[in-house]
Structure 1
Amino acid sequence: MTDAKAGSDTARPGTGGGLWRYGVPGVVTAAAAGGAFVWPVAAVPAVLVTAVAWLLGARLADGGQAEAEGESLEKLEQELRGLLHDIDDSLQAEFRTVLDDLGQIRGLVSDAVGQLNDSFHGMQAGTREQEELANNVITQTGGDSNLDQFGIRSFVQETEGTLNNYVDLVVSMSRNSVETVHAMDDIATQMDGISQLLVNMKGIAEQTDLLALNASIEAARAGDSGRGFSVVAEEVRNLSVQAGEFNEKIGGEVGRVRTSVDKARKAVGDMASQDLNETLQAKDHITDMMTRLRELDDEVEQAAGRIQQVAESIDGHVGAAVRSLQFEDIVTQLVDSSRSGVEGLDRYLSGLGHVLSETADQAEHGADYVARLAEARRRLAEQRDARESRRAEARHVAQRNMDEGDVELF
């Protein structure tokens, strides 16, 4: 019984030593080989980690045979598992970062190329539309009179002809107006003569009335005797003769006035009726031309506004194209960031090999391994945190397409 128990106690450390001799270094070797496969630059650190792992396994096996306490082995196993977990976390974190950078690069390049294509097509279409609008404006504002479109040149020519006709008409109207003024002056002079004749006629009428009154008085005094009445009658007759002469003169003056009035009337009539229809037609034509000119001005203004819009659209396409051309800077920054991460991982693996080598080369067995592995994990964690901090500070590109974020140009 004692021998069996002793054999059993002796076999347990041996079993533990075999486990640590071959199991743990195998796991470390697999992890290091995976890192070397993904990043060839990490091949040398991976080989170093593998060698240190096997050496550490041998030391652990010897230590396991020498140590009788399972608690030390359990702590050692926990530290090794923690170390492997730290290595796995570092590798996985770097894998995710690099994959994210690659996906970001792919999205940025695809979006930039698409925007460049759309921008160039938009600039081509905008330039073509702008050219058509400019040609239309040029045609409308300076077109040939033989064209159906209304042009400024034809407007000027027609306006000039219409204005010439109006000048001739105004000259003729002025001449007729002068003649009318002269005729009216003659009428005024003759009317003055008529007024004087009327004054004389008034005097004759007064004298006739007075003589008639005297004749009545004499007739009343004489009774049947008519001597006085005959004298008065003679005077009345003389006055009647004078009145007839005055009437003839008045008739002549009135005739001449009528003639002058007829002349003035004819002149004014000719002036009023001269080419009246032509004047109205010219006025209507000018009104139509002015209306068309306003419409043309509106069309030109609209075309100019549309040209301005097209120019702004072209500016937008040019800006998008320039912004899309910056994808080379963005991709360069992302590639540099990924390269920095890979180099940092390379340094991390190199440091890992160095720390494990130092741990394996120091004192031999027991709890010292646990303390040294804990210290190694702490140092490696500090290196990893410093590497990730530098990586985060060096990463400036956050955008995943060409429509967001700022670009740090070199």
Structure 2
Amino acid sequence: MGTQAVRGDDVAAWIGLSACTGGAGLGMLQVAGWWTHGLLGLAIVSLIVSQILSRRARAFHAARQAARMGEIDVNVRKYDDLCAALADGSQQQFKRLQGSLEQTQSIVSSAAANMRETTGQTKLRTMAEQLVMLATDEEQARRRSEMQNFAQSAHVALGDFVATAEALSTGSRQIAERFDGVCAKLDEVRGLIGQVNDINRQTELLALNAAIEAARAGEAGRGFAVVADEVRKLAQRTERFSTEIGTLLGDVNGAILEAGHVVQKSAGTDIGSARQSEAQAAQLWRRISDFNRQAGEQAGHVSQLSSAIHEAVMESIVSMQFEDMVSQLLSKVREQTELMAHYVNGVFDAHRDRDQQDGLSRVAQRNATLAQLLQHAEHATQALNLSTVTQTAMTTGDVELF
């Protein structure tokens, strides 16, 4: 290995020198021939050893690069498996979230429907007819009997209304509990997005290490360096997209908390009004019991009954407004949930491309898919912002009814 190869011009010079000294005799020529053959053989052996060592070095480098490629392929497949597992978990969480929203909307619709049936047009029409009959100049016995019947009917109707309002309060508490569950599920989804960000950072570090190794490989690792750089860019874009999803989840969480606040405030208002109406009905019943002694105060009783009917009508309108507002908010939350599910599934589907053997093709396809998702996200977000309910209380803001 330490022997220097003999060049051809050195051998020729040696032969020429030997020819110039031909007068030395036949013995000198034979010695020169032996030296010439020895040097030529030594040169040939040196060339053969150089070729063998060069081939071994190239084979060792190729084996090392193949091992690196295999290691990166294993890590990429592991990354794809983790993305698939996260996608399945996210789909399950979104399905549970949609189920909770549907159950919440069903509870609100059922409670509001019961309230409308209790304070419907039939009972209001009956109360109005009784008021007209009380205003006539018929005999006192008939007026007392009709007034008592009317008061009893109003007492029963208001009692039913109070029971329905309490049922609505119970439903509102259940809605608040459901909202808490939805917030917990959103926190779980945020945790999954955090895991995706951790995986993206690990992928970026892996791509950086691969780029360093490719740089060390020189010209042979140039294509591998391009793939590593594209993988790093894809990890960075995925991290930005995960951040946008986290922001959208925060907006959804804020909308849910806002809806829960409206539900709690509306429930407290409905129960307070119902109990106040029940107290007024009790007071009205005591006054009617004294009707035999105070027949001249019938006009005052009629005025009180009219006020009670007006309050019942207003409470019915408020309940319908409450139902419509909550339904709009829940529909908005459902649309945002479906939009998030579409985005998350699109991100994970972009990584399910194992059929693409070429690394550059896989990266290009993922970049195109993510670009389409981002464009669709912008349009969908603008569409959702155009139909957002801005009301934060039952007495403020505008809401489209019915």
Q: Does TM, scored on the shorter chain, surpass 0.5?
A: no
Higher relative contact order (CA 8 A, sep 6+): 1
Q: TM-score, normalised by structure 1?
A: 0.43
TM-score (norm 2): 0.44
Q: Which has the larger radius of gyration?
A: 1
